[in-house]
Amino acid sequence: MIYTAIFQHANGAYTYDLFDAPNGFSSAWAAIDYEIQQHASTRSLIAIIPGNQQVGFHDDYVNGPSPFCQPRKNAAWTAR
């Protein structure tokens, strides 16, 4: 199942990526978090949303461009 994962970085910035992860919140969260840790990431997983969702953050609103005028992201990689 495709999930949109929202992250917070050490500098306070928010980003999102798409993941193919197991069905079910607990399984998906664990798989995505595990995948992130394997890449020595400095970002923290803060939310997952089922599906390929476009995410707009306050910084996008203030500084542009709007994420809703850009093409949708494709899945970033497959979580285990």
> Is there a contact between 49 and 36 (Cβ–Cβ < 8 Å)?
no
CA distance 9 to 62: 19
> Is there a contact between 5 and 19 (Cβ–Cβ < 8 Å)?
yes
Q: In sequence order, which residues have a C-beta less than 8 Å from that of residue 27 and are 6 or more positions away?
A: 21
Q: What is the pLDDT of residues 8-61, one digit of tens each?
A: 999 988 888 899 999 999 999 999 999 888 887 789 999 999 998 888 887 777
pTM: 0.76
CA distance 2 to 57: 21
Assigned token pair, 35: 């995948």
In this model, does residue 76 exceed pLDDT 60? no
In this model, does residue 75 exceed pLDDT 80? no
Q: Please identify which residue in the block is written with the tokens 């978090």.
A: 33
